[in-house]
Chain A
């Protein structure tokens, strides 16, 4: 540092001290968060309070399938019908379990501390994949998979609880493109990306989890209406993250409440894969909000995170992300309520130091906001060592007590399709490839079928379920037994009534 610059800096710091000193003489606005207004924004549809759950209760329990060591869990999944449960006895299982059907409860049995363990042996890709709706996965121990521990792809209404996931690949728990999910009481560690990663999902509740020794503890990415509460995120590179990642097909993160969590000592050196989004997170990050909107941070104990307790930034501060003109780069309407913040930002990164200097701030940093922000607010700001929050207003509420969760009453509902529409959809979407109304295409004409099955839709249903070759010069028809009974009857009625 040349001497002239050093002198200027000293003068600036001195001036800064004088300004800060003068600020300290003004009595701060003290807001009592025990009383006062509750948050009135957020997801407005009726949501669950009290005993929260994301999977609708079954009116009747189906069959229970028991899996013993040496058996295949997948074999049980294949014979299970929607409504059934699978109980996996303690022991070690090395397989990838995939659930491509609805309403299956997959439970490990814990006996005197012994769990059903899924061991990927460092070779298998993912432990459990599900695409169905109304899925429960609980009580497993999962270790040594290359990919994810538990991954959901577009399943709605899911509960993932009480799993222990250790040293498993990319994500520990990763529901993606789902609505209405509860992730609670899981212990996840040693994950090279996020221990719990909510990706492109809506109406999510993440509670009572312990996440540690991972690059990211809990990550809410391109998702809306999430509550993250009562978790313990410690010894990760970053504790709890709310992100918009550009380049993903769903573009927003909005309406996230991060409250009553422990966010402690997240100083683990970043071991994320080169090029991954989280590889850009500085070690020592407590809570990180990047480009996400309407994020409330309340009631957390945030301590010993060396870069900063809370970082809020726009996309321009991230080196690992791409350009996406459909992605809003700014973090708007961040709301910081009362948090306990101790000993953060004591060994921060040069970018934060530089930003602090523009406000003549030196020393540790609890909160840093980098980049533009509209409509952000805070209460009791005098408690924190903060940078970049000059344009934050006083919040007009002090708590989120009015919101228990953003889970949906009765679960996310499937699309309702009238039988007449089902029939048309199936007829035009499938049958017309081989059958035209008049004349032969590949199979016989619809008119011929109508003549054969007039007044007998059940006969037609029986045939499409198990077709037999009837005509020598026609190819055999493939069975359409994958359509559910309602759709089969609907299409039979439609075919018998269609007029052109």
Chain B
């Protein structure tokens, strides 16, 4: 919570706006309770920024990295390297419906939690918490990852147990400790809302029975894969603006990609992840047992304590860090790698640590510069519009997100 506050202090305008909206919400409960009228919601017929509409009414991603190639077309390398293959080809209507669903608490069993609670756009599409809180107040086992640039990912969840955004979406929707819904109840609640069946027909064809689980997760996928963040100061540097990084950030870039720190060997540009599993041996929060991570996914003892390498794009927005939020700041996270291979692995515990976990002996100054560089990976230029109202009429009433309160349509 301290971090979340700190973040807001850097954004005073947003904070004031948030407070203003909060006031409106507190004193306007009648407004919140009423259900939406059909004519209040119409789906966009244009693609979000960074997408071109093709002749088949599909949105196709465009970004400057498409000017470049990559070895074996894997989207890994250095500055002017193409990105990994991405998901696109959804219609503007599907993306827009996904946006409404994403922010609608009707998706959870008790209608109190939307996707946007744990993936809050104002917190880098994460939630500022070490481990996220479920619909019934339970503390989950891992932290909520950012959704920026998830169009480029091929595995999902910290333990890499899902292979598509669709498969991923089914997880939290129906997990007892997350949104706790069931397919039957979810469909029933959406069908009860006057607007939704029509919106699904609009997005998925006029069949009359398009409100099905498959289309729900498709729409959520469409929206999430539209969240593109590729215009950070680092990106400007990569495309050729040698002044886009300040001196400290540039020094940090050279530490980051050096073979002493080796950050870029796993957090590999241009996505800042190589999408592999790495066992790095971070300590768990006090009192928690070792999270075995990918050992379970792949039934491999060698991967005990292994997790998917996360992207570092927008990382400055998503403290705390690591799978269970053990480190409060980027400085602490960077220090972890400098303290020696296996320093936090309890004696007698046998982990097959990644070969790049070494003893770089970076100076304090170099660690500071690394943090400076990671700050240059922030870009929220293509922030989507966050709906002020959602078709269920349910405004977010949970205490942990403050999502709808903190956001609004662009004035």
Contact = CB atoms under 8 A, between A and B. Distances in A.
Interface stretch (A19-27, A228-236, A306-314, A424-432): A424-432
Contact of B51 (A101, A417, A428, A482): A428
B300 A147 contact: no
A424 B355 contact: no
A129 B277 CA distance: 26
Given A154-B70, A249-B276, A147 B355 contact: no
Interface size class on chain A is 35 or more
A482 B240 contact: yes
A276 B355 CA distance: 5
B50 A247 contact: no
Interface stretch (B34-42, B75-83, B285-293): B75-83
B300 A425 contact: no
A65 interface: no
A433 B231 contact: yes
A73 B80 CA distance: 23
Given A153-B264, A248-B276, A433-B381, A425 B64 contact: yes
B275 A249 contact: yes
B90 to A, nearest CB: 15
A273 B241 contact: no
Contact of B71 (A171, A200, A273, A415): A200
A417 B67 contact: yes
B259 A434 contact: no
A401 interface: no
B261 A247 contact: no
Contacts of B353: 275
A414 B69 contact: yes
Best-buried of B78, B352, B360, B410 by chain A (most CB within 10 Å): B78
B48 to A, nearest CB: 8
A179 B74 CA distance: 13
A276 B262 CA distance: 13
Interface string B195-237: 0000000000000000000000000000000000011000011
A51 interface: no
Nearest to B278: A247
Given A250-B72, A273-B358, A274-B341, A428 B50 contact: yes
Best-buried of B62, B278, B357 by chain A (most CB within 10 Å): B62
A200 B78 CA distance: 13
A249 B268 contact: yes
A170 B262 CA distance: 11
Interface residues of B, number: 67
A113 B355 CA distance: 39
Contact of B62 (A100, A129, A424, A433): A424
B74 A250 contact: yes
Interface string B265-280: 0001100001111110
A98 B76 contact: no
Contacts of B360: 146
Contact of B352 (A147, A153, A322): A322
Given A247-B278, A277-B355, A484 B240 contact: yes
Contacts of A170: 259-260
B258 A322 contact: no
Interface string B237-259: 10111101000000000110111
B76 A129 contact: no
B260 A177 contact: no
Given A430-B231, A482-B241, A484-B240, A125 B255 contact: yes
A311 to B, nearest CB: 20
A83 to B, nearest CB: 15
A239 interface: no
B77 A153 contact: yes
A215 interface: no
A323 B298 contact: yes
A174 interface: yes
Given A125-B255, A250-B74, A428-B62, A275 B357 contact: yes
A325 B160 CA distance: 13
A129 B260 contact: no
Contact of A177 (B71, B361, B410): B71
Nearest to A97: B254
B354 A322 contact: yes
B49 interface: yes
Nearest to A500: B46
B66 interface: yes
A307 B23 CA distance: 77
A415 B81 CA distance: 11
Interface in B40-56: 46, 49-53
Given A154-B79, A247-B278, A250-B76, A487 B67 contact: yes
B9 interface: no
Contacts, number: 169
A326 to B, nearest CB: 9
Contact of B72 (A131, A176, A202, A426): A202
Secondary structure dominating the interface of B: loop
A422 interface: yes
B298 A275 contact: no
Contacts of B63: 425, 428-429
Nearest to B251: A96
B162 to A, nearest CB: 15
Nearest to B82: A415
B71 A96 contact: no
B354 A434 contact: no
B298 A433 contact: no
A172 to B, nearest CB: 11
A373 interface: no
A483 B80 contact: no
Contacts of A387: none
Interface in A439-497: 441, 481-484, 487
A204 to B, nearest CB: 12
B17 interface: no
A147 B81 contact: no
Nearest to A245: B355
B302 interface: yes
B302 A322 contact: yes
A177 B49 contact: no
A131 B264 CA distance: 13
Nearest to B244: A482
Given A275-B355, A322-B352, A428-B49, A151 B71 contact: no
B77 A154 contact: yes
Interface string A127-146: 00101100000000000001
A126 B261 CA distance: 10
A277 B357 CA distance: 12
Interface string A319-332: 01011110000000
Contacts of A320: 355
Nearest to A131: B78
A253 to B, nearest CB: 12
Contacts of B76: 154, 177, 200, 249-250
Nearest to A326: B276
B50 A125 contact: no
Contacts of B70: 154, 177
Contacts of B354: 247, 275, 322
A247 B66 contact: no
A78 B382 CA distance: 32
Interface string A53-65: 0000000000000
Nearest to B279: A322
A147 B259 contact: yes
A117 interface: no
19 contacts: A101-B240, A146-B360, A153-B257, A154-B78, A169-B259, A169-B260, A177-B77, A200-B76, A249-B274, A250-B76, A414-B68, A424-B62, A425-B66, A428-B49, A429-B62, A482-B237, A482-B241, A500-B46, A500-B53
A-B pairs, top 9 by smallest CB distance, nearest first, are: A154-B77, A482-B241, A154-B78, A433-B381, A147-B259, A125-B258, A153-B78, A131-B78, A428-B62
Given A126-B254, A415-B69, 11 more contacts: A78-B242, A169-B259, A169-B260, A200-B76, A322-B303, A414-B68, A428-B52, A433-B231, A433-B381, A482-B239, A483-B239
